[in-house]
Structure formats: structure tokens, C-alpha cells
Amino acid sequence: MIESQTNLLQGTLDMLILKALGPGELHGLGIARRIEQITRGTFQVKPGSLFPALHRMEEAGWLSASWGESENNRRAKYYKLTKKGTKQLGHEQQQWERIALAITAALQTG
């Protein structure tokens, strides 16, 4: 899924993609770079994981896409959050916070 020494729970990639697109639209490589940036280099998303996830999320109505030109004048598909995607991001964040609290509590139990 994501090349890293850290294994992610299923669904975390969706949350990271939605979070990366919060500030505005990006093309695929821009999304991968933003995820690496916001996770301080912990997660590096490979195209083989990213593009199927983007397609699935677009089908779900969480993202809209349009074609444009990238920084190096190449044709690129740009993605942005829809209202449904923004709502899904909120749901994903709440779910993640519950999971993180539960795991923290379990690790602190003697």
C-alpha cells in the first residue's frame, strides 16, 4: 500500500489523500508530495497505491477531477474535494482519533 517501515490501517490512505486536498486542488504527484510533507516524510505513496485510491474516491463522489497542465507543461489530472469528500474527511478524522485513543490507552495499560 504505502512504502514505509510503518504499516497503516486500511483506509488511512483515503484520509491522508482527503487531508492533502483540503487546501486546494492538486495533481497526483502533488498529492503524493503533500502526503510526504504533512507526515514529515513518514509515508511515501507509490503511484500503484495512489491512483487506484484516487479513482475509487472519485467514483464515491469524494473528489472531482479535471485535466490541466502541470508545472512542467505536461497534461495532468487535478483532483479537489467535493462537499461529500469534506464530510468524509471529518468522518475519517473522528474515526482515526477514536482508534488512536484506544491504542494509546491499550499501550499505557500495565
Domains along the chain with CATH numbers: 2-108 (1.10.10.10)
CA distance 25 to 56: 17
What would the grid cell of residue 100 be? Answer: 488512536
Model confidence, pTM: 0.86
Which pLDDT band, with edges at 50, 70 and 90, does 110 fall under? confident
pLDDT tens-digit map of 28-59: 999 999 999 999 998 889 999 999 999 999 99
CA distance 97 to 58: 25
pLDDT at 9: 55
Name 83's Cβ contacts closer than 8 Å, sequence gap at least 6: none
At residue 47's C-alpha, the angle toward residues 86 and 76, to 5°, is: 70
pLDDT tens-digit map of 69-108: 988 889 999 999 999 999 999 999 999 999 899 999 999 9
